[in-house]
Amino acid sequence: MELRKELLDYVDEELKILQTGSLHELEPLLAIDGEAFISEILQDDFYSQVLGGTNFTLKTHLSYHIRKLKEWQITPVFFFNGISLRPETAIIAKKCKKSKRLWEEFSKGNQVEIEKLLVKQDVLSLENYREILEVIRNEGGEVMKCPSHCGFQISYLDKVVRGVLGGLDLTCFGVTKIITSLEYETGIYKSVNVNQMLRIMEITSKKYMECLVARGFWLGQKFIKMSAIELLQELKVKDLKNIIGDDGKYQHIENACSVIDSQFYLCSDQTKVNFKPNSIISSVIPARCAEKFYCAMCLIGFSSDLLTSYIKKVEVMIPPISDSLKYRTLVHKYKPLMRKIYSILNRNFDENQPLSLKGVKVYYWYDEIQPFQLDFEVVKEINWEPLLEHLLNENKVCKIPSIDLQSCASAHIDIWRNQRQVIDELKKPSENKIELTKDLLKVKMHMKVLENLGFISPQGFPTLFGRVLTLSKPEFQNEIFLILELLKLGLLDWKPMNSIYLPENVLKKISPDSSDYIRIISRVSCFIQPSLNGELWTAPVDHDLAQFYSLLRHMVKTVQFLVEVYLLEDFINGHIEITRETITSLISYAHILPLKNVAVGIQVKKLLEGKSVNDLKKEMPQILDIEGDLEKAWIFWKEVHSVIKIVTTESDSVRNIIEEASKLFKTSLLNAGIHVI
C-alpha cells in the first residue's frame, strides 16, 4: 500500500500526467483490483484483529461505493487474488515476532507502538472475505476469484471492461490504462496512460517491474533501501544488477519477474486456464493443478488457501495474532481432520495429470526444525445421497423453516428411530449419483459436518453430542455446536490459555477461585454477537479473550475448508444443479458457522471484576445496548450450563466450576440491575 501511494504521488505531483474522464465512459463494467480498493477505503481499524469479526467500517464503506457506482449505471467487478505464486515460509518468523511484541506493548499500555503493529490489516482475512462477498453481491456488484494474482486476469479482460481501477503495480501485468480515483459528485475519474508514464519516466516496462519487485511488490521483501522513485531514476542509466550489487538478491528479483511474465488467467469460455509455466514456477508449484479446480475456485469464490497448499505440497501454518498452548493443542487435534480434507482434494485430481504426491508438508510456527507430513489416505465416509430426500422431507414435515445443523441432526435422529432400514442403506456403496438441487446440497453439507466432527458415528448413528445439539435453543445451535466441540477436545475450561507457563504459586492452587469463574464466564460470553454501532473500537481489549477467539476462528475455518472440498467435489464432478443463483450462492453454503466479536466477553469480564454498567457505557461507547448484551450473555450461559450437565458426570471439574460460576454471574447481574431468570 505504501508503494502504491508513493508511485501515485509521484505521477500526480511530480510528473503531473493524470488524465480525467467522465464516469459515463465506464458504463457498464468497471474492473477493480479488490484488495487494493478495499485497503484504500477502509479506516485504520486497529482492534478488530484482536477482537475478532470483520473490520468495523468494512460494510458501510464498501456498500457506499458500490451504490454510488450503480447510480452511474456502472457494475463493479471485483477481482481477488487466488493461488499464490511466491514462497511463504519466510513469513512465519515475522508473524511470530509481531504477535509476541504486540501483547508486550498492550501490557505496557503503549498505544503508539500498538497501532504501529496493527496498522497493516489483513484485508482479506477469513472474516472480512466472507463479508466482502456478501456485501458485493447484495449490492449488485460482481466478484471473481482469480487463478492467481488478479493482475493477470484484469490484464486479460482489459478490452472487455470499460476501465480498470487499481494501483500502478498493475502496469507489471500489461494493463495500459489505470484509473486511480473516482469522484462521484463531479462525475469524473482520474487515470494514468501507462505508455505515456513509462515514456516520461524514460524507462522500460521490464525495469519498472524490477523496481517494484525490488521495493517489496510480489515477494513482500525489500531488497534495496532507496525509495521506488530514487530507484526509477537510477534505472534510467544503470542496470538493476549493478545497483543491487548482490547476485543472490538480484536472482530473487529476476525469478519474481519471470513468474509475473507467466500470464496466468481464466479464459473467456471459463473452462480453460492460460498458464505458461517455466522452471521458476515449477520450483514454486511442483504440481500442475487440473483446470477444473481453478475454474471452480474462480467461478464460486472458494478459498485459495487449501488449493495453494495442495499444489505446492506445503502448508505454512501462520501463528494467530494471539497464540497460546491451547491453540497449538487444537491445531494438533485437528491434524486427522486436515488429513481427510487434503485427501478429499487429492481423490478428485485429474487422472490424466497424475500427481506424484504422498501428502502435504505442514510447517508450524512453533516447530521450525521439522515439518509434519500429512499423508493422504483413503477416506472412509458415509454415502448420504440415498438419505438426502428423506432428510429434506423430514424437515418439511416438521415445518422447519431453514436447513441447518440442528434441523439436519433432528431429522437424522427421527429417521434413525422410525426408519432404521433407510439408515442401513448408508452402508452400501452407490454408483448412482443424483443431481443436487440447492436444498439437497445444503442438507448434504450439514450432514458431512455432523459426520466428520463426531456428531454422527461412522456407522451412521447419532452420538450423544448429536442428540444434545437437537435439544438446544434454535437461535443458539451454532454456538452450542462449537461449545460441544470444545468440550470434546477438552478445551473449554477455566484454566489460563498458557497454563504450562504459569508461576509455581498459581499451579499449586488447589481449588478455583473467582478469577477462574470470571475467566470461563467471559469466554462463554464471547459467543454472543455484540450490539455494535459501527464505529471504530477504542475500548479495552483482553489477551485471554483474544487467545480464546483464535481457537474459535481455527475451528470455524477448518469446518469451512471441510465443506469447501465437498462442494468442490460435487461441482467439478457435475453433481450440482448449475444455475446463476447456485453459482453466486454456493460459497455461502460453506459459511455454516459464524465468526463473532468478543466484545460481549469483555463487557461481562469488566462487570464481574467490579465495574458498573455506567462505567461500561463510558469505556465502551461503541456498544449500543450494554444491558441487552449482558442479558443475552446470561441466557446463553444458562443454555451452556444445561448442555454441560448432560454431557458431563457429577464428578467432572467443568460441571462443578460452571455451578459455582453461575452463582457469581447471577449475583453480579442482579447487583447491576440486569433482569435475570
Between 409 and 321, the higher pLDDT residue: 409
Q: Which amino acid is at 176?
A: T
How much is the pLDDT for 23? 97
C-alpha 665/C-alpha 670 separation (Å) is 9
How much is the pLDDT for 545? 95
How much is the pLDDT for 171? 96
How much is the pLDDT for 422? 66
Residue 276 confidence (pLDDT) above 80: no
- Is residue 256 in some structural domain? yes
- Is residue 505 in some structural domain? no
SS3 504: helix
Residue 437 confidence (pLDDT) above 90: no
CB 518 within 8 A of CB 297: no
How much is the pLDDT for 152? 94
Residue 289 confidence (pLDDT) above 50: yes
Residue 353 confidence (pLDDT) above 50: no
C-alpha 599/C-alpha 52 separation (Å) is 9
CB 456 within 8 A of CB 405: no
Q: Which residues contact 324 (CB under 8 A, 6 or more apart)?
A: 497, 498, 547, 550, 551
How much is the pLDDT for 507? 46
C-beta atoms surrounding 595 within 10 Å: 20
How much is the pLDDT for 296? 82
Residue 146 confidence (pLDDT) above 50: yes
Whole-number Cα distances in Å, 550 to 52, 53, 332, 337, 532: 8, 11, 14, 18, 21
C-alpha 158/C-alpha 313 separation (Å) is 33
C-alpha 489/C-alpha 474 separation (Å) is 23
CB 572 within 8 A of CB 293: yes
Between 124 and 519, the higher pLDDT residue: 519
**Averaged pLDDT for residues 61-84:** 95
pLDDT tens for 593-641 read 988 899 999 999 999 999 999 999 999 999 999 999 999 999 999 999 9
| Start-to-end Cα distance in the chain | 52
How much is the pLDDT for 364? 86
* Sign (positive or negative) of CA dihedral 245, 251, 254, 260: negative
C-beta atoms surrounding 283 within 10 Å: 11
**469-475 CB contacts, 8 Å cutoff, 24+ apart:** 469/405, 469/406, 469/409, 470/406, 470/409, 470/410, 470/413, 471/642, 471/643, 471/646, 472/406, 472/639, 472/643, 473/639, 474/404, 474/406
How much of the chain exceeds pLDDT 90, in percent?
Answer: 54
Residue 237: which domain range? 2-90+121-260
Lowest mean pLDDT among 57-71, 238-252, 293-307, 323-337: 293-307
- Is residue 200 in some structural domain? yes
Residue 161 confidence (pLDDT) above 60: yes
**Averaged pLDDT for residues 510-534:** 90
**Averaged pLDDT for residues 438-463:** 94
- Is residue 325 in some structural domain? no
How much is the pLDDT for 502? 47
* Radius of gyration over every alpha carbon of the chain, rounded to an integer in angstroms: 27
Lowest mean pLDDT among 279-288, 314-323, 389-398, 440-449: 279-288
pLDDT tens for 11-22 read 999 999 999 999
- Find the CATH number of the domain harbouring 204: 3.40.50.1010
pLDDT tier at 448, thresholds 50, 70, 90: very high
CB 50 within 8 A of CB 598: no
Lowest mean pLDDT among 32-41, 51-60, 366-375, 612-621: 366-375
Does an H or E element contain 76, and which? Answer: strand 75-80
Lowest mean pLDDT among 142-146, 181-185, 275-279: 275-279
CB 220 within 8 A of CB 229: no
Residue 299 confidence (pLDDT) above 80: no
Question: 517: which 3 cell numbers?
Answer: 469463574
C-alpha 522/C-alpha 494 separation (Å) is 10
Residue 229 confidence (pLDDT) above 50: yes
How much is the pLDDT for 604? 98
How much is the pLDDT for 199? 96
pLDDT tier at 354, thresholds 50, 70, 90: very low
Query: Domains in the chain: how many in total?
Result: 1
pLDDT tens for 395-410 read 776 667 789 999 999 9
- Is residue 149 in some structural domain? yes
Q: Among all chains, which residue has been given the C-alpha cell 440491575? A: 673
How much is the pLDDT for 88? 59
How much of the chain exceeds pLDDT 70, in percent?
Answer: 89
Lowest mean pLDDT among 436-440, 442-446, 644-648: 436-440
Residue 102 confidence (pLDDT) above 90: no
- Is residue 321 in some structural domain? no
**Averaged pLDDT for residues 104-131:** 78
> What is the average pLDDT score of the chain?
87
Helices (H), 26-90: 34-41, 48-51, 58-71
How much is the pLDDT for 318? 82
- Is residue 317 in some structural domain? no
φ/ψ region of 620 (left if φ > 0, alpha if ψ in -120 to 50, else beta) reads beta
- Is residue 286 in some structural domain? no
Give the burial class of 265: count Cβ atoms within 10 A of its Cβ; 0-12 exposed, 13-18 middle, 19 or more buried: buried
How much is the pLDDT for 109? 74
Residue 623 DSSP class: B
pLDDT tens for 640-649 read 999 999 998 8
pLDDT tens for 458-498 read 988 999 999 999 999 999 999 999 999 999 999 999 999 98
Residue 509 confidence (pLDDT) above 70: no
Lowest mean pLDDT among 49-58, 263-272, 657-666: 263-272
